[in-house]
Amino acid sequence: MKQRVFITGVGLISFLGDSPALFHKKLCDGNKGMGRVTEFEEQGFASQPGGKVEAFLPEVFLKSKALRPLDRSGRLLASAAKLTLENSNWTSQDLAVRDVGLVLGTMFGSMHTISQFDRQALGGGPSCASPLDFANTVINSAAGQTAIWHKLRGINSTIATGATSGLMAIGYATDLIQSGRQTAVLAGGTDEFCFEAFCGLARAGLLCGPDSTAGCSVPFEKRRTGIALAEASALLMLESAESAQTRGAVILGEVLGHSNAYNPRWKQAAHEADAVIRSMRGALEDARLSPQEVDCISAAANGSIPGDRNEALAIKAVFNGHGEKVLITAIKSMIGETLGAGGALQAIDLLETMRDHAVPGIAHLKNVEPEFASLNFCRKPEFIDTRIGLINAVGFDGHACSLLLSGPPAWGNLV
């Protein structure tokens, strides 16, 4: 019999700060907190939206000067973990007697450190390469560092499926709890903003470019030109009913079901929306829900020309009729595409929506393609009774993941 999986805490580092409630409020206010990437103009990359969370000071969260062993990814993840543990009232005494797991979703992992390490060796010979940096050249290094920092001795895993990694990590962690292998797991993702990722995505034609055009990186916008690559780190604390009850934890929500699919032929007309369709249908089946029971959708849409269209077509197909009613938001309109952190950020915002019933509008959305104009896009914040929400993650390469959440169950009804 599958265990139920509850969310008892959240933590995030983002352009819109590190408070879940303020993060949600700023999204509802249409606050486009993203910075701009200006530092690569010399390399021929025009200034455009996105970039690092410049305000991030790891010392504030990790309260230590001995941070050299951690690279930026490790610092981002360990900081988000600190916030999540605090938010879920998980103390160091608890951690001394319980094994909490950690599942990290990331697209690029420690790519920047890998590249730096390699360039040190290329520049000055292998004897110049830093041993501390080498420890961080494994793709799972942020997860390892975070486990060391916070004494997380449960199952520690890293999931890489591209831009869908974070939501996949939450699904993987959900399965660990459902099957009884773990009773408490931190799950979500991180991808640090770095030149290598920016350059790579730019050369692949995926970035929005300078935002002189009206559409730029606005999700579903007819004149969108691509994504704004941004940085964030976000985690959820997932627990079994027994673990949550024993600790007297506050329940923020419940994971009802999840699924994912891959279609390598997604660029062909007959296959374009297939992975997203199967992903959403699979999640609904896993949760034993019908499309009519979904109150709102937190879309993956990020300004990607094919990606947003495929997702919209998929919503039309899966929700068939109800698609015109279910409210669709897309928070990447304000926080950009944060890769590994995306899924958890969407979950955190959705949980806030469950609390205050406010769904953020898709900032700057004006016109959508006629093909999916009938969908109910949330353009300005709306207040609706949200009990069940669907989150999508869509990759750049034919992969999709979907997850269904509900708000907190009625008190006393956890089993």
Which 225-284 positions form the footprint of other proteins (CB under 8 A)?
Answer: 260-264, 278
Q: Identify the helix (H) or strand (E) that includes residue 327.
A: strand 327-329
Provide, rounded to whole angstroms, the least separation between the CB of residue 404 and other proteins: 16
Q: Does 410 bind other proteins (CB under 8 A)?
A: no
Contacts to other proteins from residues 80-99, by CB under 8 A: 99
CA distance 322 to 209: 35
For 182, residues 6+ apart whose C-beta sits below 8 A from its C-beta are 99, 101, 154, 155, 173, 176
Which residue in the set 21, 22, 132, 373 belongs to the binding site for other proteins (CB under 8 A)? 132
**Which residue stretch of 18-26, 81-89, 149-157, 225-233 sits at the interface with other proteins (rule: CB under 8 A)?**
149-157
Which residue in the set 21, 54, 57, 64 belongs to the binding site for other proteins (CB under 8 A)? 64
Provide, rounded to whole angstroms, the least separation between the CB of residue 180 and other proteins: 5
Provide, rounded to whole angstroms, the least separation between the CB of residue 296 and other proteins: 26
Structural tokens at position 55: 């305000």
Q: Does 317 bind other proteins (CB under 8 A)?
A: no
Nearer to other proteins, 175 or 293 (CB): 175
Q: Does 68 bind other proteins (CB under 8 A)?
A: yes
Largest CA distance in the chain: 64
Provide, rounded to whole angstroms, the least separation between the CB of residue 46 and other proteins: 15
Q: Is 121 exposed, middle or buried (0-12, 13-18, 19+ CB in 10 A)?
A: middle
The residue to which tokens 């916070």 are assigned: 150
Nearer to other proteins, 183 or 386 (CB): 183
Which residue in the set 114, 300, 347, 359 belongs to the binding site for other proteins (CB under 8 A)? 114
Q: Which of 113, 128, 76 is nearest to 341 (CA)?
A: 76
Number of residues that bind other proteins (CB under 8 A): 84
Rounded to 5 degrees, what are φ and ψ at 96? Answer: -70, -25
Q: Which of 217, 196, 174, 240 is nearest to 45 (CA)?
A: 196
**Which residue stretch of 157-165, 249-257, 309-317, 373-381 sits at the interface with other proteins (rule: CB under 8 A)?**
157-165
Q: Does 23 bind other proteins (CB under 8 A)?
A: no
DSSP secondary-structure letter at 387? S
Of the CA atoms within 13 Å of residue 414, those in its CB half-sphere come to 21
Residue 281 CA from chain centroid, whole number: 20
Nearer to other proteins, 271 or 387 (CB): 271
Helix axes 342-356, 165-178, angle to 10 degrees: 70
Binding mask 318-357 for other proteins (x = CB under 8 A): ----------------------------------------
Q: Does 165 bind other proteins (CB under 8 A)?
A: yes
**Which residue stretch of 178-186, 233-241, 319-327, 344-352 sits at the interface with other proteins (rule: CB under 8 A)?**
178-186
Q: Does 177 bind other proteins (CB under 8 A)?
A: no
Q: Which of 305, 350, 316 is nearest to 331 (CA)?
A: 350
Provide, rounded to whole angstroms, the least separation between the CB of residue 378 and other proteins: 31
CA dihedral 284, 288, 292, 298 (to 10 degrees): -40
Binding mask 365-404 for other proteins (x = CB under 8 A): -------------------------------xxxx-----
Phi/psi region, residue 71 (left: phi>0; alpha: psi -120 to 50; beta: rest), is beta
**Which residue stretch of 141-149, 297-305, 326-334, 384-392 sits at the interface with other proteins (rule: CB under 8 A)?**
141-149
Q: Does 66 bind other proteins (CB under 8 A)?
A: yes
Q: Which amino acid is at 158?
A: T
Q: Identify the helix (H) or strand (E) that includes residue 60.
A: helix 58-62
Nearer to other proteins, 65 or 321 (CB): 65
| CA angle (107 as vertex; 102, 108 as ends), nearest 5 | 105
